[in-house]
Amino acid sequence: MSDGGIHPAKPFPEAAHLTLQDGQMRRNLGHATRTIRAKREKTVLELPDWEELREAGSSLKAHVMANLEPLLLQLEQSVTRAGGVVHWARDAEEARAIVTRLVQGTGAKDVVKVKSITTDEINLNGALEAAGIHTLETDLAELIVQLAHDKPSHILVPAIHKNRAEIRELFVRELGLPDLSDEPRELAGAARTYLRKKFLSAKVAISGANFAVAATGTVGVVESEGNGRMCLTLPDTLITLMGIEKVLPQWQDLEIFLQLLPRASTAERMNPYTSFWTGVHAGDGPKAFHLVLLDNGRTRVLEDEVGRQALHCIRCSACLNVCPVYERAGGHAYGSVYPGPIGAILTPQLIGMEHENANTLPFASSLCGACYDACPVKINIPEVLVHLRARAVEHKKAHSSLPTLEGSAMTVMAWVFGDASRFAFAQKLARLGQGPLVKEGKIGPLPGLLGGWTETRDLKQVPKESFREWWGKNK
């Protein structure tokens, strides 16, 4: 990693080669993602209008991207009117400097943090540590990662690669609790006790944001444990870092995302806690509120007509949980805080397709389409993957020699995935064991940079019936 949490240090095939040797991690991941997939099916099917909600989420996000400038200006105005201060950061470095300066201004030497991938994206903790400010992660999974000096491997559950026994061992060692069992309830209790005092004495908190409503200046954080509520309520100063794409036009729009997000991410009808605040509330909560709006490559993604849908992502992690490549390679193989299918399309676009390691990420997929079916805002991840593969090939062609075979396979895929009905047809063919991308009922071997890797790995068979087809028949 260079200056941020989104710069892969190795090409994907090389990084995956390493992670694939970790059998324990793969078993942990397989167990967790299987659990969530089974639960999710039930929670999603319970809603008769899931497809309509997805459509609404998708079209609303497209509307946001087309109106980003007026929405951001309106958001700034609303937050300011409510007593908050808005800051703008072009890149990671600028954002780190703003947050560091804000914390230094309070004189605090410790800050509490509620999980925010955006702060991981800009490597905020490192910058604060360098300035002599200690950051404490308060989300259970982030705490586990921090105590283990590890890296996050999932956007919702950053410590998904660790099982309960490993977590127990870590807590016994790092928190000095020899009598702890590996019961999840007891492990959660240990984190509660450990963090309670720190919450009560914290002067500054740093958070991310799931949504911000332009019309009212209302910012929202969706969480489970209550560490978010602690951070958003107890300290005197709250600093929230948010990507510019998270803005929503009006309060009413939450009716869509508060249904899509919890069901798609943790397979719950509703997550335990969601907090909304509007600027500063007299006598209740922080006395100072700062909202830092971050670009850091997002406007670069916006330029690409096909690729910009990656900005619609609401970070639910559903695409990770259904991805056969993610399940086997694990989150660390993606070398970025954004792993899995969304990472494969977001990371290279955020930092630029010329990044030699990042531009291998679009090949980290069997194009089975499960991510598209799972995505609550209908991001056509396979379409973007193929588009980015073509861009990577173009880049390679311009900068080195590339076998023509790869170029032609790319062209076939670009054609297949360039259109929804062609894609659906290809999926059908794949199940019948035919079609351009299939061998013995399996997708692969993958043409392209990952070819050598998939030849030796058993990639998931295309499901007999895609969720979309099932839905078409049964709704």
Which residues lie near ligand SF4 (CB under 6 A)? 264, 313-319, 342, 374-377, 379
With CB under 8 A as the contact rule, the residue among 15, 167, 337, 346 that binds another protein is 167
- Separation between Cα atoms, residue 387 and residue 397, nearest integer Å: 15
With CB under 8 A as the contact rule, the residue among 20, 271, 418, 424 that binds another protein is 271
Q: Please give the helix or strand (H or E) that residue 251 lies within, else none.
A: none
Q: Could you tell me the smallest distance in angstroms from the CB atom of residue 188 to another protein?
A: 5
Q: Which two tokens stand for residue 206?
A: 């740093």
279: closest CA among 235, 234, 218? 218
Site for another protein, residues 170 to 199, rule: CB under 8 A: 184-185, 187-189, 191-192, 195-196, 199
Q: Does 295 bind another protein (CB under 8 A)?
A: yes
Q: Please give the helix or strand (H or E) that residue 238 lies within, else none.
A: strand 237-243
228: closest CA among 155, 335, 137, 99? 137
- String of contacts with another protein for each residue 218-237, x by CB under 8 A: x-----xxxx-xx-xxx---
Closest to another protein by CB, 309 or 357: 309
Peptide bond into 341 cis (omega under 30): no
Q: Could you tell me the smallest distance in angstroms from the CB atom of residue 415 to another protein?
A: 24
- Separation between Cα atoms, residue 387 and residue 369, nearest integer Å: 15
Site for another protein, residues 353 to 382, rule: CB under 8 A: none
Q: Could you tell me the smallest distance in angstroms from the CB atom of residue 194 to ligand SF4?
A: 30
By a kind-dependent CB cut-off of 5 to 8 A, residue 244 interacts, out of another protein, ligand SF4, none, with: another protein
Q: Does 69 bind another protein (CB under 8 A)?
A: yes
Closest to ligand SF4 by CB, 204 or 260: 260
Q: Could you tell me the smallest distance in angstroms from the CB atom of residue 204 to another protein?
A: 15
Q: Does 299 bind another protein (CB under 8 A)?
A: yes
Q: Does 346 bind another protein (CB under 8 A)?
A: no
Q: Could you tell me the smallest distance in angstroms from the CB atom of residue 234 to ligand SF4?
A: 30
**CA 288 distance to own-chain centroid:** 28
By a kind-dependent CB cut-off of 5 to 8 A, residue 198 interacts, out of another protein, ligand SF4, none, with: none
- Separation between Cα atoms, residue 210 and residue 243, nearest integer Å: 9
> CA of 335: how far to CAs of 16, 149, 228, 265, 428, in Å?
10, 16, 27, 22, 33
Backbone Cα Rg of the chain = 22
The length of the chain is 475
Q: Does 471 bind another protein (CB under 8 A)?
A: no
Q: Could you tell me the smallest distance in angstroms from the CB atom of residue 323 to ligand SF4?
A: 9
Inter-residue contact 83 to 279 (CB < 8 Å): yes
124: closest CA among 194, 200, 205? 205
Cβ density class 428-451: b for 16+ within 10 Å, e for less = ebbbeeebebbeeebbbbbbbbbb
Q: Does 439 bind another protein (CB under 8 A)?
A: no
Q: Could you tell me the smallest distance in angstroms from the CB atom of residue 184 to ligand SF4?
A: 24
Q: Could you tell me the smallest distance in angstroms from the CB atom of residue 161 to ligand SF4?
A: 17
Q: Does 452 bind another protein (CB under 8 A)?
A: no
Closest to ligand SF4 by CB, 144 or 316: 316
Query: Considering only 2-10, 44-52, 343-351, 359-367, which stretch makes contact with another protein by CB under 8 A?
Result: 44-52
Q: Does 239 bind another protein (CB under 8 A)?
A: no
The phi and psi torsions of 411 (rounded to 5 degrees) equal -65, -45
Q: Does 41 bind another protein (CB under 8 A)?
A: no
Q: Could you tell me the smallest distance in angstroms from the CB atom of residue 384 to ligand SF4?
A: 10
Helical pair 404-417 and 420-431, crossing angle rounded to 10 deg: 110
Q: Give 308's contacts (C-beta < 8 A, 6+ positions apart).
A: 65, 301, 302
Q: Does 80 bind another protein (CB under 8 A)?
A: no
Query: Considering only 159-167, 383-391, 417-425, 439-447, which stretch makes contact with another protein by CB under 8 A?
Result: 159-167
Pairing relationship of beta strands 211-213 and 247-248 according to DSSP bridges: parallel
444: alpha, beta or left? (left if phi > 0; alpha if psi -120 to 50)? left
Inter-residue contact 393 to 449 (CB < 8 Å): no
Q: Could you tell me the smallest distance in angstroms from the CB atom of residue 130 to ligand SF4?
A: 31
| Number of residues counted as binding another protein (CB under 8 A) | 96
- Separation between Cα atoms, residue 201 and residue 182, nearest integer Å: 29
- String of contacts with another protein for each residue 396-435, x by CB under 8 A: ----------------------------------------
